Amino acid sequence: MEYAAIVREMRRLALEAGDRIMEIYDGPDFEVMTKSDNSPVTAADEAADAHIAAGLRAAFPDIALVTEEQAESHDVTAATFFIVDPLDGTKEFINRRGDFTVNIALVEDGVPTRGVVFAPAKGRLFYTRADGRSVEETGAFVKDAPGDEREIGVSNPDNSALMVVASKSHRDAATDAYIAQYSVRDMTSAGSSLKFCLVATGEADLYPRLGRTMEWDTAAGDAVLRGAGGHVVRFDAPEEPLAYGKPGFGNPFFIAYAPGVELKAG
């Protein structure tokens, strides 16, 4: 597998998709449409999806592709595939809150091995290098070449004073009840796959998700967290890592965390 070429292309396409998203985000009011599952979609989702899909298909025609905006046409049985959420956090985008991301990941045998998460409104870019280690790139982002990178790694958590991150748009009583089992120093909320990245950088120790997600929502952030030394496991079976390539691409509830967090029973 040509990981260097794959990471280079995923990074470039994420940055270019971010430009297209920000053109709409910074422009006049935009139309919000409703998909068949009643979730919102905008022209930014569609433009980013088309750009990323075209780029990946041109560069890697032999690798299967799953994208959120084309999900109804997918029947992927390949062991290796790309999975894309062109605009994760559409509700954050619509409300102009900035916590949205472009997510692109490579899945191999059920594991997201390489991933890129770009938050264009926040100017934060995270990805796994070819060697599988995760970095955050800083400074001005140049499309054709990485800039300054810093390796990121999870925290050494203090179980008497954990930092917890939870969903901004999908927080519920069940999540609050689960978090209440821990000794929490502070909590923060974030949209989209940024929550995985906050655990990956050590800005948070624990991210539980007791709600519906799809594989394209989580794969890139999962890859970044794994590459930073973290774990993403099933909520109902914490000994099992979250797996990918499931029929329908739906996820079970899950917990993302830094090793050392003493997980509580669900």
Q: Which residues are annotated as a binding site for substrate?
A: 68, 87-90, 217
End-to-end CA separation in angstroms for the chain: 38
Torsion angle, CA of 84/214/124/141, rounded to 10 degrees?
Answer: 0
According to DSSP, the residues that pair with 234 across neighbouring strands are 254
Tokens of 125: 């870019």
Give me the DSSP letters along 45-68. Answer: HHHHHHHHHHHHHHH-TTSEEEEG
- Annotated binding site: which residue ranges? 68, 85, 87-90, 217
- Annotated binding site for Mg(2+): which residue ranges? 68, 85, 87-88, 217
In the numeric block, the tokens 């890859």 are attached to: 223
Local structure of 102: helix, strand or coil? strand
Residue 183 to residues 124, 136, 206, Cα–Cα distance (Å): 29, 29, 11
> Alpha-carbon distance 103 to 165, whole Å?
19
